[in-house]
């Protein structure tokens, strides 16, 4: 009987690959929260700022407050979330760098990779790395992992 060997290798799909647990799940969630605060305060400041300057001067304290909120959220984001790395590829989780992105990486509203990672980190129990496409869990340790 003759065996037929295939020369092409078909990689398993991303959904079938096991996910790796991240040890700093809480820090990733806090960093993801500051990513969202950063973006939302920037958008609100861009909308409220011109209205406060041109039309309603009583909105000026709100515009300045939004700018200060954006600056504080950016500083806290880089302190808390700037150093967090992916367990698979060691690239930054929430900071977008010039490294090549994975073809499996998703864009949030077609705009931002790190917003998609932040959304997944806040609202689900895992995220997909924008650089390697690896699935990383943000769950507590199981009892089996604690024993080992």
Rounded Cα distance between 41 and 144, Å, is 42
Rounded Cα distance between 27 and 134, Å, is 19
Residue 11, pLDDT score: 47
Residue 142, pLDDT score: 59
Closest CA to 63 of 72, 74, 51: 51
Mean pLDDT of 87-107: 75
Rounded Cα distance between 139 and 3, Å, is 44
Which phi and psi (to 5°) does residue 70 adopt?
A: -65, -45
pLDDT tens per residue across span 10-58: 444 555 555 666 767 778 888 889 988 988 899 998 998 888 888 878 8
Please write down the long-range contacts of 126-129, taking CB distance under 8 Å and 24 or more positions apart: 126/19, 127/28, 127/93, 128/14, 128/104, 129/86, 129/88, 129/89, 129/91, 129/93, 129/102, 129/105
pLDDT tens per residue across span 57-82: 888 888 899 999 999 999 988 888 77
Domain boundaries, the chain: 19-141
């Amino acid at each position: 009987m003759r065996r037929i060997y295939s020369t092409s290798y078909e990689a398993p799909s991303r959904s079938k690959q096991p996910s790796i647990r991240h040890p700093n799940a809480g820090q990733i969630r806090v960093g993801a929260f500051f990513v969202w605060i950063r973006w939302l305060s920037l958008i609100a400041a861009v909308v409220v700022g011109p209205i406060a300057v041109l039309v309603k001067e009583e909105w000026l304290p709100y515009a300045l407050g939004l700018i200060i909120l954006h600056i504080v959220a950016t500083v806290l984001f880089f302190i808390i979330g700037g150093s967090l790395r992916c367990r698979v590829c060691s690239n930054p989780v929430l900071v977008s760098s010039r490294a090549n992105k994975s073809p499996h990486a998703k864009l949030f509203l077609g705009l931002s990779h790190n917003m998609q990672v932040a959304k997944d980190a806040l609202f689900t129990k895992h995220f997909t790395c924008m650089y390697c496409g690896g699935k990383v869990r943000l769950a507590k340790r199981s009892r089996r992992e604690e024993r080992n």
